[in-house]
A and B are shown apart, each in its own frame.
Chain A
Amino acid sequence: MADFLSAPTLVKLVTASRTQSLTGVGDFRPNLGEAWLVWGAQATSGGFSFTDGVNSINSSPDSGSATLITNSTYIHHSGSGVAVISAGLISEAQWIVSALVNGGADFRPPLGEAWIVTACNGGDFRLASAQGVAADSVPYRGLFNEKWDAPPNIPPSLDQNAMWPGLLLTNAVYLRNAAAAGTYGFVSAYKIPTTV
């Protein structure tokens, strides 16, 4: 029987929890070198976005999402009401990949790495490979995908372009933001240890 205890686990990597409430405009932003996994966020009047301080995506880390944020890509609350955000500190930030991806750019593991997407939102993310870019874009969900009907058959709190966790990306099969340059999308992922 395999010794599962020998493996690093995400649970072990989460070393502290943090809950913050904001009234009005404010950031939920990790310190330099930190990565936080957001468990949930709710606001009385909405107004969440992911931002790198310059570009932002109007989306929502609503309750139930699992979004990784760093000092460079973090959550901004612009609503006038009260927001509550809870997160876990991941000290081993080398396991984390989090980026705002410009239109035309790729979210692609280097050779030898494998990443599992925890969340993405905004942009026009599609699978890409040596065959090119997938004909259809997201919205898709990580687990059982169905193309959206109109209106989208999604939980009302989930943005249309949001994706549930789970895609396994490699250097050969990865995500491309097929939107025009200037249309950013957010992706977070964790690296899985692998012998390849």
Chain B
Amino acid sequence: MAIKSSFLFRPALGVNVIDQNISSGKVTFQPNLGELWMLGTVSVEGTPSTTTIGLTDGTNFFQFYNLTQTAQSSHNLIGLLPLFFDNGLYLSLGPGKVRATMFRLM
């Protein structure tokens, strides 16, 4: 089967930004039913070992990254992580200064 085009360059149906300072807990972004989103940029400044980036289904948290995995443990930045999420399993990150951008594919 030939791959005729790259989804990365199809028009985005929307762009969303999270720009919040979360003192405790996490901030989430849950797409509407039927939507598919992809993470573009994420940066979290916070306390090592407590600040994480992952997906949640509302009950469970699936961690992809935490600040202790960085050498200097104070700042974390990921660009165009091919992390898809939807209404059932969606973005959850924090605490700390959270800056994230994402775009909607479907």
A194 touches B7 (CB 8 A): no
Segment from A41-49, A53-61, A68-76, A126-134 that makes contact with B: A126-134
Question: Across the two chains, which residue of chain A brings its CB closest to B6?
Answer: A9
CA A186 – CA B81 in complex, angstroms? 22
Q: Which residues of A contact B10 (CB under 8 A)?
A: 2, 4, 6-7, 9, 193
Question: Which A142-194 residues sit within 8 Å CB-CB of chain B?
Answer: 142-149, 153, 163-170, 172-173, 192-194
CA A11 – CA B2 in complex, angstroms? 15
For B74-104 the 0/1 string (1 means CB < 8 A from A) is 1111111100000000000000010111110
Q: Which residues of A contact B77 (CB under 8 A)?
A: 127, 134, 140, 145
Question: Across the two chains, which residue of chain A brings its CB closest to B69?
Answer: A146
B99 touches A5 (CB 8 A): no
Known contacts A4-B5, A147-B72; decide if A192 and B80 are in contact (CB<8 Å).
Answer: no
Query: Distance in Å from the Cβ of A95 to the closest Cβ of chain B?
Result: 10
Query: Distance in Å from the Cβ of B10 to the closest Cβ of chain A?
Result: 3
Confirm or deny: A8 has a beta carbon within 8 angstroms of a beta carbon on chain B. yes
Question: Across the two chains, which residue of chain A brings its CB closest to B12?
Answer: A194
**For chain A, what secondary structure do more than half of its interface residues adopt (helix, strand, loop), or is it mixed?**
loop
Contact of B9 among A8, A129, A196 (CB under 8 A): A8
Query: Distance in Å from the Cβ of A30 to the closest Cβ of chain B?
Result: 21
Interface residues of B (CB under 8 A from A): 4-7, 9-15, 17, 19-21, 40-41, 43, 45, 65, 69-81, 97, 99-103, 105-106
B103 touches A168 (CB 8 A): yes
CA A170 – CA B103 in complex, angstroms? 11
A168 touches B9 (CB 8 A): no
CA A29 – CA B37 in complex, angstroms? 38
Q: Which residues of A contact B99 (CB under 8 A)?
A: 127, 129, 131, 134, 173
B45 touches A136 (CB 8 A): yes
Q: Which residues of B contact A140 (CB under 8 A)?
A: 77
Q: Which residues of B contact A149 (CB under 8 A)?
A: 71
Query: Which of B11, B41, B69, B70 has the largest number of chain A CB atoms within 10 A?
Result: B41
Confirm or deny: A10 has a beta carbon within 8 angstroms of a beta carbon on chain B. yes
A2 touches B45 (CB 8 A): no
Q: List 14 other contacts, CB 8 Å, given A114-B103, A147-B73, A192-B9.
A: A116-B80, A131-B21, A134-B77, A134-B97, A144-B65, A145-B77, A166-B40, A168-B40, A170-B15, A172-B17, A193-B10, A194-B14, A195-B11, A196-B14
CA A8 – CA B14 in complex, angstroms? 16
Known contacts A8-B9, A192-B9; decide if A143 and B78 are in contact (CB<8 Å).
Answer: yes
Question: Across the two chains, which residue of chain A brings its CB closest to B4?
Answer: A5
Query: Which of B12, B21, B106 has the largest number of chain A CB atoms within 10 A?
Result: B12
